[in-house]
Amino acid sequence: MEEAGGCRGAFVGPPPPAVGAAWGRGGVGDELRPQPIARKARKVHVPEEQKDEKYWSRRSKNNAAAKRSRDARRLKENQISVRAAFLERENAALRQEVAAARRELARFRALLARYEARHGAL
């Protein structure tokens, strides 16, 4: 019986989850979902006389948040590249498996043709 997608054979199963998929709030496929493009707010110049303790506290918090965001983006990009490499290797192995199965099928067809030529059709 054919499976969904017209493929026959053993079910390989889902690929392993991305490295660190349990971290954060996303699931396995979240890294591949397109994200909305956020527009940057215009920079507002703050005069020196208004740069009080509250201003510097907010700047410090924002700098830390920006660093966390950049680090998270780098981690996600690394996870995607690791996953892509894994899938490329798996794809190459599956292509080799298909090629070997096709060679085996051709060999069996030739063997059957020789048998039928000697002994008549089955």
Query: Is 66 within a domain?
Result: yes
Predicted pLDDT at 115: 96
- The predicted-structure confidence for 71-97, as pLDDT tens digits, reads as follows 999 999 999 999 999 999 999 999 999
Query: Is 46 within a domain?
Result: no
Nearest residue to 24 (alpha-carbon basis) of 95, 76, 93, 91: 76
Are 21 and 83 a contacting pair, CB within 8 Å? no
Number of domains into which the chain is organized? 1
Nearest residue to 12 (alpha-carbon basis) of 76, 91, 68, 99: 91
Query: Is 17 within a domain?
Result: no
Enclosing domain of residue 98: 53-119
| Residue pointed to by tokens 């026959």 | 8
Does pTM surpass 0.75?
no
Are 87 and 15 a contacting pair, CB within 8 Å? yes
Q: What is the mean pLDDT of residues 113-120?
A: 95
Query: Is 41 within a domain?
Result: no
Predicted pLDDT at 63: 98
- The predicted-structure confidence for 32-78, as pLDDT tens digits, reads as follows 678 788 888 888 888 888 889 999 999 999 999 999 999 999 999 99
